[in-house]
Chain A
């Protein structure tokens, strides 16, 4: 849980200053230091960025009264602005999960997949 919170906050701050892929740095570094197993790391990392990008885009969607998300839903041929939010959250989540898992895998060798 704490892992997810740390990733969420770090990724949020990094993303303000650096390009979007900087969110992977948050996942890698937090995953490395929290030394959790690979799968839980993926899960927490996924959750963190799913929430971050999902909440950010939901906030924008609401404040913008859905003007742009509705148009983009049409552009991307998904039909519904909520699916655009979901796609944003899932893409964030994938990067978060994979980066956090990678970070975890590069940590202490004794904790490995077999034990989970």
Chain B
């Protein structure tokens, strides 16, 4: 009897310990996770950080990281190698999980840490078929060729690894404990992966298949009207006044445009509507104290932790402050003692699909330019935690990796598309940033930009010498007009990318008469610019607003620029709402609705958090837009390209009888009045159902539903319901989970001054009060004054000294 009890009890104990030490599905190992010494409790910060001294092999001299009260590290080093070592070290200390997650994601390796999960496996496969690891391998070769870049990356990696090696499992960031995983060694190629991920985010979309289908189903006139023509309110980045004093050699276009097989949509290449940014610089002639002022706010997905991390890097010949990407040395957006710079995305078309003809099912040869050419193959092995590896063979033509499009109906032909994408070009984009960090003048800036390939950015610039400038910068394929906006013919060399726009021909401007430069992702240059870049730039709305405000302003102070960051004026509302209200049949409305229509009519078009009008307007517009197009678009099986909102308003104003106004699903002929009124009613009913009678809950700050989710979507680790104003078409482009990821204003001058704020905190540890410490300042537009030190501070909040072991 006793023997049975003994063994039963022991068995229970062993089973219990095993179960509590094992991860089941998404549930972390319970015992390990709850352990107060090394489980998640160990991540709870129980006292403010304290100064420490550490020593590591790999350092040359002493390097000290001084922290201010917001925990921004100010690294003072005696040489570049120690500087980047320290940057790698502190980035890992603050953001290790984020660095690793981004690198795993960019390399198609998420399955390795997350395990069997359909969504994750699809993401990994797509990453690999996109040629992300292929592009990163090419990039790292290019980086190795430049000794200074390579030295920076390896020193940074050493710093990251020094931190990783100092960890015991109890010190791991909390996410590893939830996933029951451990950090791996940081290799320099991960920096290349990270940068490719930026290219994917910012230049990894196209609508070739949609445009082809739209052309096939709705015809040339529709495509011309909505996609070729530009809205009258367009206000290009490089103003129309700019004269282009060069001869452009444009490749000859085919006589007739290739018609692809009904292009099934290839999933995962849609434009992320939350991506966008603003930047501008004003000349000293327009500022109060006579020095240039520069501003930038890149709009990205708002996550916890933030994509950005603030840092100051100080070494002989270098003193730079700004924000960094987690996994790359140097500062990406920032300023030094002489210059400041910032970036916004260029929506150029640098991703094209080609329909490829293979000789046979082996896919070993394809027809191009009158001959069969051999393909190459790349074996992609994705390791999966707790399961067998997945092997995928990706075929490459000279265009790039091939994706197979399965027929929807049996008997239809299998179609193959090859992808030509800028991310596969060899490039050392990091060199641009490392040189900008040290730039002293306009010439240094232009020279730094010359190394840059992708993702193309509008680099705004201002210097102590009084210059302001903006280069629409990147490597752009030299295309015939509209080349690659539809699916291209993979057999015809005239559809290939035939060289690049020469460097000094890319749109740029220095010290224009108007006294400012700006960009907000809109069209790069006006009609007179001879090269074709894309037909799908961001709407004019933010760009026009910025230009109008800056044109009017004089005696500008940095505070004015910070206020401008929070400007919520909506050109979309200003152009669309008066029309909608005019079309609305008010007689059919209830008294309550009439009163609300009156309220909308009196609204000033500012998308402020406290207003009840913006949320309703947006809902109404969305319903109206759907009523206008969905009947026609849904009647086609293929995916189509939807017109942008600014063109829609313009077309309807000009032509109220536009044929798509009629609902083809009904026998009667609808008018604008009908669809404006029916979409009002449905939006109003929807608002009442969701938010109750008109009141507090209708306020845009709530309706926007602005959540800053955790990067791994772990519940509880994000920040929910950040009550905010703004909209994607306003300068303050905040909108549910997307928006200004870093707001920075810099005043040049003998004492360069900076202000900045991002939604998040320096540390990525959710157990620290610093994790979300900046969110409230970000929400209310109170930029922090940045501590830009020329010498080590006397009284830092704390410091970490790293010495040679």
Contact = CB atoms under 8 A, between A and B. Distances in A.
* A and B held together in a complex: yes
Interface string A20-54: 11001000100000000010000000000000010
Contacts of A57: 34, 36, 41
Contact of B21 (A21, A72, A73): A21
Given A15-B35, A68-B44, A112 B1 contact: yes
Contacts of A64: 44-46, 767
Given A20-B32, A106-B6, A75 B16 contact: no
Given A60-B46, A71-B766, A106-B6, A87 B716 contact: no
A20 B43 CA distance: 15
Contact of A74 (B20, B36, B715): B715
Nearest to A75: B716
> Which of the listed residues A69, A76, A87, A101 has the most CB atoms from chain B within 10 Å of its own CB?
A76
Contacts of B766: 67-68, 71
Contact of B13 (A19, A20, A102): A102
A45 B43 CA distance: 27
Contact of A69 (B9, B20, B44): B44
A68 B715 contact: no
A3 interface: no
A105 B11 CA distance: 12
B31 A68 contact: no
A60 B31 contact: no
B298 interface: no
A68 B43 contact: yes
A77 interface: yes
B9 A98 contact: yes
A91 B20 contact: yes
A102 B36 CA distance: 24
Nearest to A57: B36
Nearest to B38: A20
B32 A91 contact: no
Main SS of chain A's interface residues? helix
Given A65-B769, A67-B767, A105-B9, A24 B35 contact: no
A98 B169 CA distance: 26
Interface in B144-184: 169, 174, 178
B30 A91 contact: yes
Contact of A21 (B6, B31, B47, B169): B31
B20 to A, nearest CB: 7
Interface string A65-108: 10111111111110000001001100110110011011001100
A39 to B, nearest CB: 12
A68 B40 contact: yes
Contacts of A98: 9, 12-13, 16
A19 B9 contact: no
Contacts of A2: none
Chain B: interface size category:
35 or more
A73 B716 contact: yes
Contacts of B38: 19-20
Contacts of A19: 32, 35, 38, 169
Interface string B35-74: 1111111011111000000000000000000000000000
A71 B717 contact: yes
A53 B34 CA distance: 9
Contacts of B169: 19
Nearest to B37: A15
A63 B769 CA distance: 12
Contact of A95 (B16, B717, B767): B16
A78 B296 CA distance: 41
A113 interface: yes
B36 A60 contact: yes
Nearest to A56: B36
A58 to B, nearest CB: 9
Given A68-B41, A99-B13, A77 B715 contact: yes
Contacts of B32: 19-20
A38 B8 CA distance: 13
A25 to B, nearest CB: 11
Contacts of B36: 15, 53, 56-57, 60, 88
B243 to A, nearest CB: 57
A67 B44 contact: yes
Given A24-B17, A75-B716, A56 B37 contact: yes
A98 B8 CA distance: 11
Interface string B113-155: 0000000000000000000000000000000000000000000
Contacts of B771: 67
Contacts of A28: 13
A75 B716 CA distance: 5
A62 B47 CA distance: 11
Contacts of A76: 716
Interface in B1-30: 1-2, 5-6, 9-10, 12-13, 16-17, 20-21, 30
A112 B9 CA distance: 13
Given A20-B32, A105-B2, A106-B6, A72 B40 contact: yes
A57 B35 CA distance: 9
B768 interface: yes
A114 B20 CA distance: 31
Given A71-B766, A101-B9, A102-B10, A20 B35 contact: yes
Contact of B41 (A56, A73, A77, A94): A56
A19 B184 CA distance: 20
A70 B91 CA distance: 26
A1 interface: no
Contact of B31 (A65, A70, A91, A105): A91
A75 B5 CA distance: 38
Nearest to B770: A67
Contacts of B20: 21, 91, 95
A113 B5 CA distance: 9
Contacts of B6: 102, 105-106
B528 interface: no
Nearest to A76: B716
Contacts of A75: 178, 714-717
Contacts of A67: 44-45, 766-769, 771
A109 to B, nearest CB: 6
A77 B716 CA distance: 9
Given A71-B717, A74-B716, A20 B40 contact: no
Interface in B727-781: 766-769, 771
Nearest to B5: A105
16 contacts: A24-B17, A38-B5, A38-B9, A57-B34, A60-B44, A68-B43, A68-B766, A72-B716, A74-B715, A77-B715, A91-B31, A95-B31, A102-B10, A105-B9, A106-B10, A113-B5
Given A20-B39, A105-B5, A106-B6, 19 more contacts: A15-B36, A19-B35, A20-B31, A21-B20, A24-B13, A24-B17, A53-B35, A57-B36, A67-B45, A67-B766, A68-B41, A71-B716, A75-B716, A91-B30, A95-B16, A98-B12, A98-B16, A112-B2, A113-B5
In the A-B complex, the 7 residue pairs with the closest CB atoms: A74-B716, A68-B767, A20-B35, A56-B36, A75-B716, A63-B46, A64-B44
